[in-house]
Chain A
Amino acid sequence: AQSVAQPEDQVNVAEGNPLTVKCTYSVSGNPYLFWYVQYPNRGLQFLLKYITGDNLVKGSYGFEAEFNKSQTSFHLKKPSALVSDSALYFCAVRDYDYKLSFGAGTTVTVRA
């Protein structure tokens, strides 16, 4: 099965600093990779995806992610974090039969 791993349970950054949330993948074939964000007591909101094309993908709310085939990574980044970016972030990969398989999630806390 296709899978993703998020090695960090928590990421803490100061507002205005760069934010990186890590994700590595294990797939056979070409990966279809996604990032979602979940604010407290809310649903899953789509941020961005990589299907094919440019390795740098730009998404919602100023987020971007870099697909790195040699390192099998798809890290989420934001150049300057905001307190409002504090949330739970999930990396996901399209698995067989078109379902998404999620990582364990990373809690991001941005302090003022």
Chain B
Amino acid sequence: EPEVTQTPSHQVTQMGQEVILRCVPISNHLYFYWYRQILGQKVEFLVSFYNNEISEKSEIFDDQFSVERPDGSNFTLKIRSTKLEDSAMYFCASSQQGYGYTFGSGTRLTVV
């Protein structure tokens, strides 16, 4: 069964540093998403991406966040200057047309 692949599985970074979280969505999917989950809590929507542009973003997705699909297969989330409160599990997901969503196994980001 096709999978969404996320790397790295765990990233530790110092406060103020930039991080890039990487995702390879399922190849024939058209919609891409990033979600965040602070330890054991609710899964929060960050951003959706369709047709090479952001289609919707949440209040959490402020100017320190950006997304990119640099090469037609990867989908990245960049956090420019990390804060302690950015520590969370970040999930990438993809969907063909909104009838099924596949999530990656997540990147655990720890900001110290």
Contact = CB atoms under 8 A, between A and B. Distances in A.
Contacts, number: 57
B33 interface: yes
Band of interface residues on A: 20 to 34
A61 to B, nearest CB: 15
Interface residues of B, number: 26
Nearest to B96: A98
Interface of B is mostly: strand
Interface stretch (B12-20, B42-50, B67-75, B79-87): B42-50
Interface of B: 31, 33, 35, 40-45, 48, 50, 55-56, 91, 93, 95, 97-106
Interface of A: 32, 34, 36, 42-46, 49, 51, 88, 90, 92, 94, 96-105
